[in-house]
Chain A
């Protein structure tokens, strides 16, 4: 039964249930297996009296014969029919061999059914996402790369740069193939233009030959998508030229076409991570992340989606690593890994560290074994190109690895009396925590955090701590920038822009007892619960999106240039509209903080 419990506890929306309701649900599971192609829900059948959760495998949602969505492990379906009492509008069939858990009507089973809030289908993007050539999950990773070949403009090497740029932009593509008399093709990408023409290194009237990369990396059109993907990782390129059997170029495949832009369905990267059979293969898959982030950015995927995609892949990489390391580093007690910070909120940037904590079910005597196993995992994580927390929030340290009983009592102590040094920092870190293994065990730490037994002193201190992260607005009209040191005249966007908003989101989470979700989701819940006005919440969400997008833009440029990313910007480098907008955002954050300060001090006082 533990498997059912752990699985459900690790999935939205079931993660929102309390322990008793989770138990009820786990006991009511009925598991059914569907081989590929089998219908699970028929279109227009009797209204369902149950819903389904995918456990392993994948199912496709079919609308009048067209596949409109693909659902993987943890995804729920059938709830629309169950809740509406209407016949299912869309059919669901197994895209591969799939194990599903069937759950009865939660409204009669659970004590708090209202805690289950399901996502509904309906957006146009979702419905149009998987059409045409795209098939199921396994289908896509194993499909030949020829499916994704884009015909791109071709030109001669002596054509002026200016004309090639026009060719590329007229075609709506991001690169051109350059044909040479010797038959060995070259490639020129929009990145070459940005890097070398934009910098003045190559003039617009010079022949494109000066920009060309030649020979190009080619891939046979019949190569499976997954293999082509790894090829790109190995060589750190975003494009491959697809050739036919005779070596004749057919067009170009791009990283972004192989991965899906849909956050909850980043098929190929996740497939590469999930199928990694050793550390080397996992490292290859993980090293794909920065290039993928760049491509997603270039295609215009919304920044917060990119953050979610990166988080999903880091999650699965960590899970895969725990699985691979289980054989060599077994702590000997049930252990749950928690991710912390932006990764827990699914708001990561490509350069974000992986912050972790660990809880085990056992006594203090297991500490050494747990920590040495954790050290091994963190070392392996770094060999895959993901960095542990530079500030020490790591699962192998005594602060962040504790047996369950001690996490419980320590957290209970903090929420009663937060005066001990470091208490609030730890509390806020735990409020941003999410289990990635043994979810039921990991959740107990968080449950202790949001337990109703919190003292007014704790909430008071937490608000003070939250409001201490101020945006850089001063008495004068412009920004407060660093006055000395390396970043003189610059503005720390992460500390000054992002942190005040994420702190407010976290505060809302702790006060309402529901810390799930991203910062925008938390803030909007805060408005729904009356902690913030709708206007305030939307202002904060807007500010959050703006700052996050600026930070991500900087990271993308840093990846392209092969330099470390910076969280600093010089206000003078921003265009005036962005600068004004940013200043307005900071002001608005400041206003919300002031309002909370005066009002809540009174209420809590």
Chain B
């Protein structure tokens, strides 16, 4: 299945997922995929994905029926600190599928869609690395809700830490889905994205490109700041 999806030719160039087709569309006309990962830690050299969740935003709406969620059996021991955050114990992950199932699900979710995540540099880095292991390349526009919040003045600019997802969502009166659960956080992020993009629309109608630009400009990821869970 994965081979069919990636169409990887041994020795060939990795296939890029997703494309850039929707860059100039108003964001409500584009399809976006909101993704959240739970990790063993933030060290890209050694840490691993333990669960992923995602949902599609289509026509400006978060479509509940598109939610995907899965566990991943990590190849390194899960630390106590990370268990404290995502509550997934080694026993919970024992029988989980390997990384290939996760890559397959995320590749399907992201194909033709714009990646949206909270503090997106984390998701981008870990998805990118996982894709690379299977001959795929994450190469498309990325929208970061933490960056959009900074642009709107809802989170301090120039701060060294990312604003918390729950704090932002509840601060503007949005319902919280199950916290520190990849699917729940993806749904909360999706709601936050709608609210932030709609608010940016007030100043000027936003396209995928303009949201991507804001995300890039306001991103902390370039400096690789520590991520405060």
- Which residues of A are in contact with B by a Cβ distance under 8 Å? 1-4, 7, 26-35, 55-57, 97, 99, 102
- Given the interface contacts A3-B187, A32-B194, A35-B199, does A56 sit within 8 Å of B61 by beta carbon? no
Which of B61, B173, B176, B201 is close to A31, meaning CB atoms less than 8 Å apart? B61
B210 CB–A CB distance under 8 Å: no
Q: Which residues in B have their C-beta under 8 angstroms from that of A31?
A: 61-62, 64, 190-191, 194
Q: Is A26 in contact with B191, judged by CB distance below 8 angstroms?
A: no
Q: How many A-B residue pairs have CB under 8 A?
A: 63
Other A-B pairs beyond A1-B67, A27-B64, 17, CB < 8 Å: A1-B177, A2-B184, A3-B176, A3-B177, A3-B178, A7-B175, A30-B63, A30-B64, A31-B61, A33-B191, A33-B194, A35-B201, A56-B173, A56-B174, A97-B198, A97-B199, A99-B195
Q: Is B173 in contact with A30, judged by CB distance below 8 angstroms?
A: no
Q: Is B199 in contact with A2, judged by CB distance below 8 angstroms?
A: no
Which of A2, A30, A57 is close to B177, meaning CB atoms less than 8 Å apart? A2
B125 CB–A CB distance under 8 Å: no
CA distance A249 to B227 in the complex (A): 58
B106 CB–A CB distance under 8 Å: no
**Contact string, B179-219, partner A, CB cutoff 8 A, digits 1/0?**
00001100100110011001101100000000000000000
Which of A3, A27, A34 is close to B175, meaning CB atoms less than 8 Å apart? A3
The 10 closest A-B pairs by CB, nearest first: A33-B194, A30-B61, A31-B62, A29-B64, A32-B61, A3-B177, A33-B198, A56-B173, A35-B198, A33-B195
Q: Is A57 in contact with B61, judged by CB distance below 8 angstroms?
A: no
CB A79 to nearest CB in B, in angstroms, measures 18
Q: Which residues in B have their C-beta under 8 angstroms from that of A34?
A: 198
CB A361 to nearest CB in B, in angstroms, measures 13
Q: Is A2 in contact with B64, judged by CB distance below 8 angstroms?
A: no
Q: Which residues in B have their C-beta under 8 angstroms from that of A1?
A: 64, 67, 177, 183, 187
Q: Is A97 in contact with B173, judged by CB distance below 8 angstroms?
A: yes
B128 CB–A CB distance under 8 Å: no
10 A-B pairs whose Cβ atoms sit less than 8 Å apart in the complex: A26-B64, A27-B65, A28-B64, A29-B64, A31-B194, A32-B60, A97-B195, A97-B198, A99-B191, A99-B195
CA distance A30 to B184 in the complex (A): 15
CA distance A35 to B206 in the complex (A): 14
- Given the interface contacts A31-B191, A33-B198, does A56 sit within 8 Å of B175 by beta carbon? yes
**Contact string, B38-66, partner A, CB cutoff 8 A, digits 1/0?**
00000000000000000000001111110
Chain B, interface size category, equals 20 to 34
Measured CB to CB, the nearest residue on chain B to A334 is B178
Q: Which residues in A have their C-beta under 8 angstroms from that of B85?
A: none
- Given the interface contacts A30-B61, A97-B195, does A35 sit within 8 Å of B202 by beta carbon? yes
With most chain B CB atoms within 10 A of its CB, the pick from A3, A4, A26, A31 is A31
Measured CB to CB, the nearest residue on chain A to B63 is A30
B80 CB–A CB distance under 8 Å: no
B172 CB–A CB distance under 8 Å: yes
CB B46 to nearest CB in A, in angstroms, measures 32
CA distance A56 to B194 in the complex (A): 13
CB A375 to nearest CB in B, in angstroms, measures 26
CB B59 to nearest CB in A, in angstroms, measures 8
Q: Which residues in B have their C-beta under 8 angstroms from that of A29?
A: 64
Q: Which residues in B have their C-beta under 8 angstroms from that of A102?
A: 61
CB A138 to nearest CB in B, in angstroms, measures 11
Measured CB to CB, the nearest residue on chain A to B178 is A2
Q: Which residues in B have their C-beta under 8 angstroms from that of A30?
A: 61-64
CA distance A57 to B184 in the complex (A): 21
Q: Is B174 in contact with A99, judged by CB distance below 8 angstroms?
A: yes
Measured CB to CB, the nearest residue on chain B to A38 is B198
Q: Which residues in A have their C-beta under 8 angstroms from that of B202?
A: 35
Q: Which residues in B have their C-beta under 8 angstroms from that of A35?
A: 198-199, 201-202
CA distance A176 to B62 in the complex (A): 56
Q: Which residues in B have their C-beta under 8 angstroms from that of A4?
A: 64
Q: Which residues in B have their C-beta under 8 angstroms from that of A2?
A: 177-178, 184
CB B167 to nearest CB in A, in angstroms, measures 13
Q: Which residues in A have their C-beta under 8 angstroms from that of B174?
A: 56, 99
CA distance A3 to B202 in the complex (A): 28
CA distance A102 to B172 in the complex (A): 20
Q: Which residues in B have their C-beta under 8 angstroms from that of A27?
A: 64-65
CB A334 to nearest CB in B, in angstroms, measures 10
Q: Is A28 in contact with B172, judged by CB distance below 8 angstroms?
A: no
CB A438 to nearest CB in B, in angstroms, measures 12
CB A124 to nearest CB in B, in angstroms, measures 33
CB B84 to nearest CB in A, in angstroms, measures 14
CB B69 to nearest CB in A, in angstroms, measures 9
CB B200 to nearest CB in A, in angstroms, measures 10
Measured CB to CB, the nearest residue on chain B to A28 is B65
Q: Which residues in A have their C-beta under 8 angstroms from that of B187?
A: 1, 3
CB B146 to nearest CB in A, in angstroms, measures 18
Q: Which residues in A have their C-beta under 8 angstroms from that of B61?
A: 30-32, 102
CB A36 to nearest CB in B, in angstroms, measures 9
Q: Which residues in A have their C-beta under 8 angstroms from that of B173?
A: 56-57, 97, 99
CA distance A565 to B83 in the complex (A): 55
Measured CB to CB, the nearest residue on chain B to A32 is B61
